[in-house]
Structure 1
Amino acid sequence: MSTPPTLDNGSLPENGFRTFLQVLGNTLVANVTTSFLWFALIFWIYAETRNVIATGVVGASYMLFISLFSMFFGTVVDRFRKKAVMVRATLAALAVFVLDAAFFFIVGEDQIVNLGGPWFWIFAVVLLAGAVVEQLRSIALSTTVTLLVPDERHANANGLVGTVQGVGILVTSVFSGLSVGLLGMGWTLLIGITALTLTLVHLAALDIPEREIVRTDQQVRWVDIRGGWLAVLAAPGLLALVLFTTLNNLFSGVAMTLMDPYGIDLFGVQAWGIWFAVLPR
């Protein structure tokens, strides 16, 4: 198993925790924006097509791609400076969303909602790609704790990271349901692109100091499945946690695939977005 790269962080910046809070807030807005577009796509698909299979395939594809690329994303975060990873991930996601929005307005909504043609699947897959790339930010956010926060405040910082992720999931469905129901998918895309652009500008102005990454002579592979498996086995209880999380995500995905169509039929898109946020899961 290859030895992972280590960071020579030196002394922490004097205003490191304040910078961390700004990175935290920036990532919250970026994650909510990306999830906002993704939830909006799922709601919009069923609201326009009433096709459960289409919503299920698109939702399952998102989770599948997240699983497939997670180890590669972790390697990217390890190999490059964290701010560079976050900026480039946001820029890539923004570019993809802009292209997809242009595609949406050029082709037209009436053509895209026709499941018999290729336009719907092109639109959905491109938006999926942008949502998956943005997941790099969540991985990079956790690593900024050691770069910016003193050791004695690591527990607080890690708690804030978890809180941000939980709050993001809580409010996303509300915004998505209201936007799709009241404004439509076109305006939803424009709102998401505007919000993500603002986060990119703010992030570019932040200073996240990071020393040179120290590497071993042995090159680490981009995807080290064997090394990842051995690392999981080396941590007591981690394998059981991974298996539990996998089953939980599987059952949650199946439940969401069935709940979204039923909820939209029962309450409408706007109200279902609110109910989805407050229902216990």
Structure 2
Amino acid sequence: MNQSAQPSGMRGFVIVWLGQVVSMLGTGMTNFAVSFWIFQQTGEATALTWAIFFFMAPSVLFSPIAGAIVDRANRKMVMIVSDLLAGVATIFLLSLLAADSLQIWHIYLANLLAGAANAFQFPAYSAAVTMMLPKEQYGRAAGMLSLAGSASGILAPAFAGALLGPIGLVGIMSIDVVTFLFAIFALFIVFIPQPEVTPEGRTGQGSLLQESAYGFRYIFQRPSLIGLQMVFFFINFLAMFGFAVMVPMILARTGNNEITLASVQSVGAIGGVVGGLLLSTWGGPRRKVNGVLIGMICVSIFSQALMGVGQSVFIWATASFMGQFIIPILNGSNQAIWQAKVAPDVQGRVFAVRRLIAQITAPLATALAGPLADRVFEPAMQPDGAWASMFGWLVGTGTGA
């Protein structure tokens, strides 16, 4: 298909977006089912948090090199290849499961590959949106992308919870593979322009190592950008402690009830859909930095803190809804700032380093969260535990506290 016949602009973006909606649905179903399988096998939060760690670590640490490759290569092909690698990780697990040989460490290994692929996906997709759409559409595009994730968040837990019994983990992973192929086909048929070389791009040219380091130089030379990233650095570190133990907490407090977990996650995703729809039609606040800072405060109070003190499905669902409602506005405002401020031909490198700075503490928090929950906090919050009399009135006592 020649370039003139390929969909481009908003039409092309919508096609790519639809591919991502379908792919995210399949991936979300697999993540839900695998998380439930891990907790059934081990009964501990540690194994679940380590699975998250092995995905996040390469996703964050490979970011600078991935960003440099994104700026050097054809961004469309980078997106296709990274989606293929993520699909290979799922096929690897599917083949082991079909042979009745799947073990926990296999999931860790597959997550390493999927995380490495994700290191390329974020800068490539973010930079591609900049080239496909005009500046005034950035906020709406961020809202649509957030809406895609939230829509899959509603459907994936519901579908996975309903299908896990009838078709099992093998069936769910097979669906995931098909959705990957659909997303790759959507990328093949659209036109994604390459950026023109700018003065910033010429300054950052050099060896792969030099180009990987350029993203750091670009951000650290701009005080407003590094200040924004340091806020995300500290917030993400604290938030990951809660995120990593949410699934095992709910399962522990409900007797491994996957329907309850799916319900809480689906209600949260409804909040994400509402937030994403709001952002895609509104475009976000005029002063994007207000959307970031006020959003962080609201997520901390009405989602993280409320989830921690909650002891009922209603409170968990409310906290999940509030967090997912606010996050699209927060992240969409942040994304619009970066897309407007950074030259298109260096966005791969800069966005990758931006992600590294914001999320470098997340793998550490994830690795610590499970052992701390299993070995320190939960034992201390047993009815006769050391902290039960001090905090029991707030978060309860016993399993999952």
> Which of the five TM-score ranges fits, normalised by the shorter chain?
0.7 to 0.9
In the alignment, structure 1 residue 192 sits paired with structure 2 residue 176: yes
Match of 1:271 in 2: 260
Match of 1:237 in 2: 227
Determine if contact 2:87/2:177 at 8 Å carries over to the other structure: yes
- Which segment is superposed worse, 201-210 or 17-26? 201-210
Match of 1:82 in 2: 75
Write out per-residue CA displacement over residues 172-209 of structure 1, whole angstroms, 9 at most, x where no aligned residue.
43333333344321111111111112222232222223
Determine if contact 2:157/2:263 at 8 Å carries over to the other structure: yes
What is the rounded CA distance, in whole Å, between the counterparts of 1:90 and 1:30 in structure 2? 9
Question: Higher RCO, 1 or 2 (CA under 8 Å, sep at least 6)?
Answer: 1
What is the rounded CA distance, in whole Å, between the counterparts of 2:46 and 2:61 in structure 1? 22
Distance 1:165 1:123, change over 3 A: closer
Q: Which amino acid aligns with 1:94?
A: G
More helix by share: 2
What is the rounded CA distance, in whole Å, between the counterparts of 2:25 and 2:119 in structure 1? 11
Match of 1:247 in 2: 237
The CA deviation at 1:86 is 0.9
What SS does structure 2 have at the residue aligned with 1:265? coil
Q: Which amino acid aligns with 2:69?
A: V
Determine if contact 2:16/2:186 at 8 Å carries over to the other structure: no
Alignment of 1:65-104 (within 5 A): 65-104=58-97
Determine if contact 2:80/2:187 at 8 Å carries over to the other structure: yes
Determine if contact 1:52/1:261 at 8 Å carries over to the other structure: no
Q: Which amino acid aligns with 1:218?
A: G
Q: Which amino acid aligns with 1:249?
A: A
Determine if contact 2:52/2:244 at 8 Å carries over to the other structure: no
The CA deviation at 1:148 is 1.6
Alignment of 1:129-148 (within 5 A): 129-130=113-114, 132-134=116-118, 136-148=120-132
In the superposition, the TM-score normalised over structure 1's length comes to 0.76
Distance 1:254 1:148, change over 3 A: closer
The CA deviation at 1:65 is 3.0
Unpaired stretches in structure 1, ≥5 consecutive residues: 1-12, 113-118
The CA deviation at 1:213 is 5.8
- Which segment is superposed worse, 216-225 or 16-25? 216-225
What is the rounded CA distance, in whole Å, between the counterparts of 1:273 and 1:197 in structure 2? 26
Alignment of 1:1-281 (within 5 A): 15-106=8-99, 108=100, 111-112=101-102, 119-130=103-114, 132-134=116-118, 136-210=120-194, 216=202, 217-221=205-209, 223-224=212-213, 226-227=216-217, 230=220, 233-235=223-225, 237-256=227-246, 258-262=248-252, 265=255, 268-278=257-267, 279=317, 280-281=319-320
Determine if contact 1:27/1:137 at 8 Å carries over to the other structure: no
- Which segment is superposed worse, 227-236 or 52-61? 227-236
Q: Which amino acid aligns with 1:72?
A: I
Determine if contact 2:85/2:117 at 8 Å carries over to the other structure: yes
Determine if contact 1:37/1:189 at 8 Å carries over to the other structure: yes
In the superposition, the TM-score normalised over structure 2's length comes to 0.56
Distance 1:162 1:139, change over 3 A: farther
User: How many matched pairs?
Assistant: 259
Distance 1:254 1:193, change over 3 A: closer
The CA deviation at 1:226 is 4.6
What is the rounded CA distance, in whole Å, between the counterparts of 1:212 and 1:128 in structure 2? 34
What is the rounded CA distance, in whole Å, between the counterparts of 2:104 and 2:142 in structure 1? 39
What is the rounded CA distance, in whole Å, between the counterparts of 2:26 and 2:227 in structure 1? 34
Determine if contact 1:177/1:271 at 8 Å carries over to the other structure: no
The CA deviation at 1:156 is 2.3
Determine if contact 1:178/1:269 at 8 Å carries over to the other structure: no
What SS does structure 1 have at the residue aligned with 2:191? coil
What SS does structure 2 have at the residue aligned with 1:237? helix
What is the rounded CA distance, in whole Å, between the counterparts of 1:250 and 1:229 in structure 2? 24
What is the rounded CA distance, in whole Å, between the counterparts of 1:170 and 1:228 in structure 2? 38
What is the rounded CA distance, in whole Å, between the counterparts of 1:53 and 1:262 in structure 2? 13
The CA deviation at 1:18 is 0.7
What is the rounded CA distance, in whole Å, between the counterparts of 2:51 and 2:130 in structure 1? 36
- Asked which structure has the greater CA Rg, the reply is 2
Quote the RMSD (CA, aligned, Å): 3.1
